[in-house]
Structure 1
Amino acid sequence: MIEKQMLELLDHLSRINFEEVDIDDFLEQRDNDPFDGEWMRVYQAVEALKTGNVVDDTKEIEEKAYLTVYEKSEDDELAGYISDDFGLIADSRRLGYSDQWLDKLIACYEEEKLPCGTL
């Protein structure tokens, strides 16, 4: 079930028009609050849940996201950020972690938008 959900998100990701993305602006918005603070908060919560739990590796999903973005944008930093999102989403789903901000992050991908700034 989780794999199917992640494949659907990857499909949405592949439909984003990266030619319309101002990559420098996007990366700047991601590196600053509110986005950065919220991302780190969710990441730390998920990492805490992983302690003591056996969680499937997300590298395959992260790699697919990275390659999808890199092939369309030729920007490794952008691809890395998106890949990290997909790893975070996959981990959160496998652990049953739920969060309002994370739901908004996922919704951006479902709507074929790149998440940054205030979600």
Structure 2
Amino acid sequence: MTTASEILSRISGDILLERIFKKNTDWDAKLDARDSFEFDHAWSMSHEKVTSSCPPEDGSVREVREAAYKKVYQITKNADLAAYVSDDMGLIALACKNKLDVEFINNLWKSYTQGEFPA
């Protein structure tokens, strides 16, 4: 299972986010797609499962969130998009840190590692 420090390393050190966000894409349309009931419900339920069964975010998870936000904002200049990615990465890091196996969160991480923005 991936750790928060490995996620931070991938965000900071390699092309994980650059591969996705340097594409010429209508990011507003991609964000709108995430507002579909299915995606939003699955994300919210996963978030609730993780936050209700784990201690609050610590410094390592906050570091992941901050690094993701800064990297995506630097590339796209889109604060909303950067916030969504930061939330995703924070959720992934918190689940990994607490060794929770949540299929939706695993699929979020898989999308990012395959060069796709989850929507």
1:11-90 to 2 correspondences below 5 Å: 11=14, 12-50=16-54, 53=55, 56-57=58-59, 58-90=61-93
The share of aligned pairs that are identical, in percent, is: 30
The runs of 5 or more residues in structure 1 that have no matched partner are none
Q: How many residues align?
A: 114
The residue type paired with residue 58 of structure 2 is D
Q: Where do 4+ consecutive residues of structure 1 move more than 4 Å? A: none
The runs of 5 or more residues in structure 2 that have no matched partner are none
CA distance in structure 2 between the partners assigned to 1:85 and 1:29 by the alignment:
15
Cα pair 2:73 2:79 within 8 Å, conserved: yes
Q: State the TM-score, normalizing by the size of structure 1.
A: 0.85
